[in-house]
């Protein structure tokens, strides 16, 4: 499956059948995880666990958000902006791979109690459990609660292209035609999930580069990692050469914080 199809197919799934992942799925996911390295020189790791302590299912503490899940992906990393950006990038790669396998996932942060999961893993000094996602076979029909949550979070809505991407300055919206070959990578970024679907990223195309910013007050390093993952993986698939680099002559403002740039090669 192409990366664009994976991105378009991925939806947050909160209702699962309760059937544990079969051995083939577990092996394929673990093999895929073993091939990954976090970008930007950061350290992060992902573990796939079965959420049980003894014979009892783990209490998720999600206020009914997730039902029927038995397997979970755990993102472990270090705190710090670029560390969390890189960790988020790597975690989204696994989420998209699970989508290709036909499995459901859902990024979980603040709504999830971590204590039960911490009992099953070992953290090194400086490491934290950052994000968790159930992974499994989704129910054919969403529960009423899941439908209400998706509607409340605006999960199926995305901001228009020109409100996220800009040409030379933030005062000039970037059109799809002016984006040229980068229309598709930017569109895949636009479809990226984010906390409460806030879509905090902003991108300025200028002088042979794409500069990535976040809206002040809405920054989530993991969300930025997801956005950069969608952008770069799509560029790679379309053979658009470039690399990420934090440029010293690009600055933040009161409204926008600068993160990194994609330098076109």
The total number of residues shown for the chain amounts to 265
Residue 119 sits at φ, ψ, to 5 deg, of -70, -20
Domains within the chain, CATH numbers bracketed:
3-147 (3.40.109.10), 161-264 (3.40.109.30)
Residue keyed to tokens 């099953």:
120
Are β-strands 209-215 and 256-264 bridged in parallel, bridged antiparallel, or unpaired? antiparallel
pLDDT 10s digit of each residue in the chain, 265 long? 899 999 999 998 988 999 999 999 999 999 999 999 989 988 899 999 997 655 555 555 544 578 889 999 999 999 888 999 999 999 999 999 999 999 999 998 765 667 778 888 889 898 999 899 999 999 887 665 555 555 544 445 789 999 999 999 999 999 999 999 999 999 999 999 988 788 999 999 999 999 999 987 766 788 999 999 999 999 999 999 999 999 999 988 888 999 999 999 9
Query: Residue 204's beta-bridge partner residues?
Result: 166, 211
Cα–Cα distance, 93 to 40 (Å, whole number): 15
**Residues 105, 84 contacting (CB under 8 angstroms):** no
Q: Which two tokens stand for residue 46?
A: 């992902």
């Amino acid at each position: 499956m192409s990366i664009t199809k994976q991105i378009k197919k991925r939806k947050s799934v909160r209702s699962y059948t309760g059937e544990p992942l079969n051995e083939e799925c577990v092996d394929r996911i673990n093999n895929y995880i073993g091939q990954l390295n976090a970008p930007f020189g950061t350290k992060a790791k992902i573990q796939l666990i079965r959420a049980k302590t003894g014979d009892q299912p783990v209490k998720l503490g999600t206020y009914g958000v997730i039902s029927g899940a038995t397997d979970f992906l755990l993102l472990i990393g270090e705190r710090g902006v670029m560390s969390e950006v890189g960790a988020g990038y790597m975690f989204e790669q696994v989420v998209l791979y699970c989508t290709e396998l036909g499995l459901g996932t859902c990024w979980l942060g603040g709504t999830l109690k971590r204590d039960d999961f911490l009992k099953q893993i070992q953290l090194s000094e400086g490491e934290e459990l950052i994000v968790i996602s159930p992974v499994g076979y989704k129910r054919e029909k969403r529960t009423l609660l899941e439908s209400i949550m998706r509607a409340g979070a605006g999960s199926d809505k995305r901001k228009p292209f020109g409100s996220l991407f800009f040409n030379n300055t933030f005062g000039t919206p970037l059109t799809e035609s002016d984006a040229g070959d980068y229309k598709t990578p930017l569109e895949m970024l636009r479809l990226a999930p984010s906390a409460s679907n806030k879509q905090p990223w902003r991108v300025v195309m200028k002088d042979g580069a794409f500069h990535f910013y976040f809206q002040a007050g809405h920054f989530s390093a993991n969300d930025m990692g997801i956005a950069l993952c969608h952008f770069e993986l799509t560029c790679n698939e379309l053979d658009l050469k470039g690399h990420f680099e934090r440029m010293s002559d690009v600055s933040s403002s009161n409204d926008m914080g600068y993160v990194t740039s994609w330098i076109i090669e």
